[in-house]
Chain A
């Protein structure tokens, strides 16, 4: 039976991961994800989880250790943030290329510089093209649920890819929320033991991480792209099963108040909760506004997006990262590009918001919707803006 708990979300994430019985955990502490591996090390030390907790000297080694562990057939977990994730960069595309189903929780934090420990999503956007499945949680309950789902998705035989689960630093990691924690029997029934494609073992010959010369590299990249795209089916199946077993619905894009919406916001992560409050209030005032919460980032949910924006006239994508000198925030450029060839598409605009822990309040969304209302009549010239910047 699931149990109702009140707990800091990072600790709840660690408890949920422990229920998945990882066999190797390798992590290096970095704010704001620290409480996740810290609490897991407590759980291991207390004897509640039979796992190898490797106190590595760096994040580069944390992910390398997870790759080695996963290669031997162990269920491997790591967690990090910001510079720690950046320090893993060299190993990140290797984990996916080697088809190692490692699960990583990212407590999203701004990349330096200037040095900043607070929340935005520039860290994961930096790793966008690495071939991992990437998902965003909006609240504590979703963190618990998606932590458990991540292992099942990653380890499915048709997938065998690493997953990164994103939760906003502080806004989620350090907040206490009421949540439902599944029990061990429920998780065991949902999540089978890990059956690797091959294991590094002296008795069975296998080479992993092989050389790919020009004669094979194109085909290897096509295979990597195809397997990531095809993971969508497994992700949807896992979410369907979750709904049946635990009653909570997960979709690649969650629609809120989209019926008859002329204006729609697109959010990722915890600010979707705040935006929902704003949308509710505006709807009461008769403003035809809705909200799309983008949960699945990779593989990108093209089909769901095209369907969700039917009838929308202005779509405002809210980004929590900048692509300096580029076309706008990463979510914006992907959303606009996904819709470009559609015959009937909304005008797409971009607000980059909440960088480096800058508060994002209900009234900010109200102001953004007012801008979108103006855009219904006169299209703004700039593709994007950093919202609330002083001096502009």
Chain B
């Protein structure tokens, strides 16, 4: 499979004024690569209150069919707000790598 181009290769390919002619292109920019710390969700402590989901500035936390929450690591920047806000201490930030 051909590797999908993330950026225009050469300056000649740049759209005039860097305009973007399709919706939702920000989705293709995976901000997860910025992350230094990753959130680990402990389901045994989680009370399924959803505060992490509400506070996540990236909007990358979602609820699964069992009611537990997880971060989408393609977009999670590792800011740690979810861990800071979690009442029950179910989220811990662990260094990447």
Contacts and interface: CB of A to CB of B under 8 A. Distances in A.
A229 to B, nearest CB: 13
A215 interface: yes
B1 interface: no
A206 B20 contact: yes
Contacts of A223: 11-12, 14, 16
Contacts, number: 55
Interface string B1-32: 00000111011111011111111010001000
A216 interface: yes
B7 A216 contact: yes
Contact of A207 (B7, B16, B19, B29): B19
B7 A198 contact: no
Contact of B16 (A99, A205, A213, A219): A99
A219 B22 contact: no
Interface string A148-180: 000000000000100000000000000000000
Given A99-B16, A160-B16, A197-B16, A219 B21 contact: no
Interface centre among A207, A208, A218 (most CB of B within 10 A): A207
A222 interface: yes
A285 interface: no
Contacts of B17: 97-100, 160, 197, 208
Contacts of B22: 205
B75 to A, nearest CB: 15
B8 A216 contact: yes
Contacts of A205: 21-23
Contact of B20 (A100, A197, A210, A215): A210
The prevalent SS among residues of B at the interface is loop
A190 to B, nearest CB: 24
A198 B19 contact: yes
A129 interface: no
A213 B12 CA distance: 17
Contacts of A220: 11, 14, 18
B21 A198 contact: yes
Contact of B18 (A100, A160, A212): A212
A342 interface: no
Contact of A210 (B6, B11, B19): B19
A100 to B, nearest CB: 7
A227 B15 CA distance: 12
Nearest to A218: B11
Contacts of A227: 16
Nearest to A100: B17
B11 A207 contact: no
Nearest to A222: B11
B21 A216 contact: no
A198 to B, nearest CB: 6
B19 A206 contact: yes
Contact of A219 (B10, B23, B25): B10
Nearest to A227: B16
Q: Which of B11, B21, B22 has the most CB of A within 10 A?
A: B11
Given A215-B6, A219-B8, A207 B14 contact: no
A382 interface: no
Contacts of A97: 17-18
Contacts of A197: 16-17, 19
Central interface residue in A99, A213, A219, A220, by most chain B CB within 10 Å: A219
A216 B13 CA distance: 11
A205 B25 CA distance: 11
A226 interface: yes
Contacts of B16: 99, 160, 197, 223, 227
Contacts of A210: 18-20
B46 to A, nearest CB: 35
B82 to A, nearest CB: 25
A226 B20 CA distance: 20
Nearest to B20: A207
7 contacts: A98-B18, A99-B16, A100-B17, A197-B17, A198-B21, A206-B21, A219-B8
* 8 interchain residue pairs of minimum CB distance: A99-B17, A219-B11, A222-B11, A207-B20, A98-B17, A223-B14, A205-B23, A99-B16
Given A208-B17, A218-B11, A219-B11, 10 more contacts: A99-B19, A197-B16, A198-B19, A198-B21, A205-B21, A207-B19, A213-B29, A219-B14, A223-B11, A223-B12
Interface of A: 97-100, 160, 197-198, 205-208, 210, 212-213, 215-216, 218-220, 222-223, 226-227
